[in-house]
Structure 1
Amino acid sequence: MVFHNYRMTRKGGDRVEVIVKYNGDIIQAVERIGAQAELLSHQYAIVSIEESRLPELYGFTEIEDIELSKRLYIKLNYQLTSSCITSVQEKNSFHLLGKGTIAAIIDSGIDYTHVDFRNEDGSTRIIALWDQTIEGNPPDGFLEGTEYTREQLNEALDSPRPFTVVPSRDNLGHGTAVAGIAAGNGQASAGENRGAAPLCELLIVKVGQKGNDTFAQSTEIMRAVKYVTDKARMLGRPVAINLSFGMNNGAHDGQSLFEEYLTAMSSEWKSAMIIPTGNEGAAGHHYEGRITSDNPAEIAFFTASGIETFYLTLWKDFADSFAVELILPNGTSAGVVTLEDRRKQIRLGNLLITILYEQPTRYSVRQEIFINVQAQSGTIAPGAWLLRILPTRIVNGTFTVWLPTLEEVTAKTYFSRPTVNNTITLPATARKVIRVAGYNDRIGSIAPFSGVGRVNDPDGLPDIAAPAVNILAPRTGGGYDAFTGTSFAAPFVTGSALLMMEWAIVNGNAPFFYGERLRAYLRWGANRSVGLRYPNPTFGYGRLCLDNTLQLMQQYAI
């Protein structure tokens, strides 16, 4: 079994993290080789282990499958009226404000001192804040980070120097904005710039690597989802979980362990999981093609200046056999690499190129060919590259290739002839989650950056679209700023889900209204334009309209 270091989550020293699907007593089993297991559910766990001992995990009967952790990147006047949320909040209508519900924001943290996340008496609306980047006192059942309670947050707010009491900060401002759109009460603007569910309470998890707030590992997000779900269950309240992250490193088919775990957790407790479709719609980072026995493929792409690493992840039918060859901008070939090579490393100048032929998994018949280019010193020279696919034995012939996301390699890295469809980023590709596309509510058109679904595949489409351009939201340090991206479309739906669960569960109208049922009503109540066919790969089932949805719930959900 071959392991490739550039895809592993490092936890300091030579320890790495992997996701496992298990049976039996996994904690006791891995302790025999000096590893630690954190249980996420009765099937999934995260194992921290010395890298040199990682192959030993494959000998345990308790372990059914293993997946290396991967990086996910944060996707950098509220449009409540265009989403039909304002009318639902009004006293002469449904008068829903999120009371009795929980907004769980898993993101870059939160500015807990911002008055939009405080009650009228100045106390916090945050039930708990788990900062995974600060070592100290982790929540029960977890091994890392520090959990700050409501009492500790209030102590900090009463202090003239709050960050000396609770040192957790949102350095990016991303999580603060997302939380404000979903749940801000607008106190900094006398209520004018409030979010969708201003009376809900919040659970906050700050994820990310120590010293680097721009990305998080899939294992960190899995821990966070378990944490907020368990907290909501303990408190007996419905919860909407917002995950504004995305990556291209995967098959985009919902069949990785990470995606399967999120699919499973979306059915836990009284919850809804909301994930944006990502900002890859116009990035040029996806390519689809077909190869025949007598027709090799040549795929041209460009890389930006200043990047130190990038990858190509190619997915194909395992029944097909073909070789790959990477041509550098200076015309040098990295050589032809075949299935028989399995894993090959090539050094050319300052570059280390690793090409790996993966195996199908228990969930998928597809095979990944993973190509990683890493500058050993300095950066990768920009320019035009060529990926050649050379047929050996072709049965099906179709394949897909992805470059990293905009957040990793910028807009100046792209395929010369990209495929626009199937650009929804992971983990929105998990099943049973609510996928949110982004549109410009001023002109009614889809945002060009919004991730696009798979054509002729209802399971691969967005569920609904929400405003994503120039969204006014709380900023770190106080006040408000404008934000753009599908990250900021998702919390409109998160807040809407809270109001739906307030009406249904908290108010006792439909006590089992969550999960797929909630998702179905969001689709049903969406606004749809005359002349467009729905569902479609850009808008999904239409534009969010909460008032329509509540009217339908009132008529049919009781």
Structure 2
Amino acid sequence: MGYGYGAQYDSSDINSALDTGNRGFAEMLVPASDGLSGHGTAVASIAAGSRNSQSSGIAYESEIIAVALKRTGGSDGGYTRTIDIMEGIDYALRKAIELNMPIIINLSFGTNEGAHDGNTLFENYITDINGLWKNIVVVAAGNEGDSRHHVRTDVSGNINRTEFAIGDNEKNIRLFIWKYFQDEFEIYLNTPSGKRINISNDVTVSSQRENIESVLAMPTPYTSKQLVEVSIRPGNSLDYVISGIWSIEFAVTGTIKCGIVDMWLPTIEAIGLSTGFLRPSPDTTVTIPATARKVLSVGAFNQDAGSMATFSGRGYTADGRLVPLIAAYGVDVTAAGYGGGYVRKTGTSFAAPKISGYAACIMEWGIVRRNDENMYGEKLIAYMTRYAVGIEGEEMPGIRQGWGLI
């Protein structure tokens, strides 16, 4: 028997709420044009699509706020700035307050651009909205589990080298090196053509074989770590970055107080499958903003294999918090197709809206029907993780499944 601010109930009450599929209030943030991929259409339909014989959204009577996110720059469709996402969330949250309705904010996207410790401006923002209104933020854990895009190394020795491969037909590789400000060492980039470039500070190297630029970022009010961001582009006479084995070398020059360095490459949506670290660290592979505090991070379960999907982001945040917190079906999920019909979708992007739909049902039962008007935020996370079912062969809680499968 659980207790919540005057309301007493047990697991059968929660399960009955999940079975109703009734009213909640979900927010979906999608690109300004859903495009041929139909990502936003699929996500919305999984959480709250209409009920029929072919497919059914979890909370099929929910109301949806669909926020179109604008794109900035780039001939390939550009990108969406995190500040625009924050403005979209702010709009939806204000609308929920205006209508006096609880809201689930589903974020089915992720990036490797950050220290993965919950301290970016964006992560702090979605953490801070936890107490502003009756809401919960559900975030996909990302598809980086087996991508080889993260490595952690200890530079305490005199010389430490980390190798990574760049595959064919890459036009721009960005490498994010996060170090402790308290540690003193030089960083070198070794290229397949034999160059050894000191990238410890801002530097630009332009040649026929490669164009290298590194930028050093000092600690900010949001993070005490330092970032060295390295951009690797084709040489002046080439169309693509030189493929082959590259490496980062660390040479200690002073005091080492911690020695831990985390490095990330962009996500699989941005670079080819042949590009990655040769000896990766796969247990810190959840993407941002699923690494934020007070959000419900969601991994993908492979229902055909009966196990967690190998691509599902997993492990811990860079500061040691367990992520993801929960899992849902994320392989061959039936969803509405862009322009009509139904499609099959795979990824944590499509596991997250299942959890958003379940959250909508429970919040409707608790808040709208007044069984427990405090059923949101951390409290809702606590109950959903409590009643999740452990996956056979996985630890509880574990680095793959979190607290289990819903």
Distance 1:387 1:531, change over 3 A: closer
| C-alpha deviation, 1:309, in angstroms | 1.0
Give the structure 1 partner of residue 7 of structure 2: none
Distance 1:225 1:284, change over 3 A: same
Q: For 2:352 and 2:18, how far apart are their aligned partners in 1?
A: 22
Q: Which of 293, 316, 324 is the aligned partner of 1:462? A: 324
Residues 461 and 540 in structure 1, CA contact (< 8 A), matched pair in contact too: yes
Residues 270 and 514 in structure 1, CA contact (< 8 A), matched pair in contact too: yes
Residues 208 and 214 in structure 1, CA contact (< 8 A), matched pair in contact too: no
Normalized against structure 1, the TM-score is what?
0.66
CA deviations 1:271-324 (Å, max 9, x no partner) are 111101100000000011112242x11111111222221111111221111111
Q: Which of 246, 252, 262 is the aligned partner of 1:391? A: 252
Unpaired runs of at least 5, structure 2: 1-10
Give the structure 1 partner of residue 47 of structure 2: 182
| C-alpha deviation, 1:490, in angstroms | 0.2
Q: For 1:255 and 1:292, how far apart are their aligned partners in 2?
A: 25
| C-alpha deviation, 1:331, in angstroms | 2.1
Three-state SS of the structure 2 residue aligned to 1:500 is helix
Give the structure 2 partner of residue 498 of structure 1: 360
Distance 1:235 1:376, change over 3 A: farther
Give the structure 2 partner of residue 550 of structure 1: none
| C-alpha deviation, 1:456, in angstroms | 11
| C-alpha deviation, 1:522, in angstroms | 0.7
Distance 1:299 1:244, change over 3 A: same
CA deviations 1:106-140 (Å, max 9, x no partner) are 123xxxxxxxxxxxxxxxxxxxxxx4xxxxxxxxx
Give the structure 2 partner of residue 225 of structure 1: 89
Q: For 2:22 and 2:211, how far apart are their aligned partners in 1?
A: 52
Q: Is 2:240 the partner of 1:379?
A: yes
Give the structure 2 partner of residue 514 of structure 1: 376
Q: Which of 285, 304, 320 is the aligned partner of 1:423? A: 285
Structure 1 counterpart of 2:245, one-letter code: A
Residues 172 and 213 in structure 1, CA contact (< 8 A), matched pair in contact too: no
Structure 1 counterpart of 2:66, one-letter code: I
Distance 1:271 1:483, change over 3 A: same
Q: For 1:517 and 1:376, how far apart are their aligned partners in 2?
A: 54
CA deviations 1:382-427 (Å, max 9, x no partner) are 2211111111122221111111110111211100110111100001
Three-state SS of the structure 1 residue aligned to 2:20 is coil
Q: For 1:484 and 1:228, how far apart are their aligned partners in 2?
A: 27
Give the structure 1 partner of residue 27 of structure 2: 104
Q: For 1:276 and 1:308, how far apart are their aligned partners in 2?
A: 27
Distance 1:405 1:455, change over 3 A: closer
Structure 1 counterpart of 2:113, one-letter code: N
Following TM superposition, where does structure 1 have runs of at least 4 consecutive aligned residues deviating by more than 3 angstroms?
168-171, 210-215, 455-458, 529-532
Three-state SS of the structure 1 residue aligned to 2:94 is helix
Q: For 2:85 and 2:160, how far apart are their aligned partners in 1?
A: 37
Give the structure 2 partner of residue 318 of structure 1: 181
| C-alpha deviation, 1:501, in angstroms | 0.5
Structure 2 counterpart of 1:183, one-letter code: A
Q: Which has the larger radius of gyration?
A: 1
| C-alpha deviation, 1:457, in angstroms | 7.1
Residues 429 and 460 in structure 1, CA contact (< 8 A), matched pair in contact too: no
Q: For 1:456 and 1:300, how far apart are their aligned partners in 2?
A: 20
Residues 238 and 505 in structure 1, CA contact (< 8 A), matched pair in contact too: yes
Q: Is 2:212 the partner of 1:353?
A: yes
| C-alpha deviation, 1:208, in angstroms | 4.3
Give the structure 1 partner of residue 405 of structure 2: 543
CA deviations 1:249-280 (Å, max 9, x no partner) are 11000011111111112332111111011000
| C-alpha deviation, 1:343, in angstroms | 1.2
Q: For 2:392 and 2:285, how far apart are their aligned partners in 1?
A: 25
Residues 117 and 319 in structure 2, CA contact (< 8 A), matched pair in contact too: no
Normalized against structure 2, the TM-score is what?
0.90
CA deviations 1:75-99 (Å, max 9, x no partner) are xxxxxxxxx9xx957xxx8752232
Distance 1:275 1:451, change over 3 A: same
Give the structure 1 partner of residue 8 of structure 2: none
Query: In percent, how many aligned pairs have the same letter?
Result: 34
Three-state SS of the structure 1 residue aligned to 2:364 is helix
Distance 1:468 1:516, change over 3 A: same
CA RMSD, 1 decimal:
2.3
| C-alpha deviation, 1:523, in angstroms | 0.6
Distance 1:288 1:311, change over 3 A: same
Give the count of matched residue pairs.
390
Residues 96 and 502 in structure 1, CA contact (< 8 A), matched pair in contact too: no
Judge which range, 451-460 or 346-355, deviates more: 451-460
CA deviations 1:448-472 (Å, max 9, x no partner) are 0000122897633211011111111
Q: For 1:471 and 1:94, how far apart are their aligned partners in 2?
A: 19
Q: Is 2:204 the partner of 1:204?
A: no
Unpaired runs of at least 5, structure 1: 1-83, 109-130, 132-167, 545-558
Residues 103 and 240 in structure 1, CA contact (< 8 A), matched pair in contact too: yes
Residues 389 and 405 in structure 2, CA contact (< 8 A), matched pair in contact too: yes
Q: Which of 87, 108, 114 is the aligned partner of 1:244? A: 108
Structure 2 counterpart of 1:270, one-letter code: K
Distance 1:421 1:208, change over 3 A: farther
Q: Is 2:183 the partner of 1:300?
A: no
Q: For 2:210 and 2:150, how far apart are their aligned partners in 1?
A: 24
Structure 2 counterpart of 1:301, one-letter code: F
Three-state SS of the structure 2 residue aligned to 1:287 is strand
Three-state SS of the structure 2 residue aligned to 1:220 is helix
Q: Which gives a bigger RCO, structure 1 or 2 (Cα 8 Å, sep 6+)?
A: 2
Three-state SS of the structure 1 residue aligned to 2:80 is strand
Q: For 2:331 and 2:325, how far apart are their aligned partners in 1?
A: 19
Which structure 2 residues correspond to residues 48-87 of structure 1 after superposition, within 5 A? none
Which structure 2 residues correspond to residues 123-142 of structure 1 after superposition, within 5 A? 131=32
Give the structure 2 partner of residue 134 of structure 1: none
Residues 285 and 402 in structure 1, CA contact (< 8 A), matched pair in contact too: yes
Q: Is 2:203 the partner of 1:367?
A: no
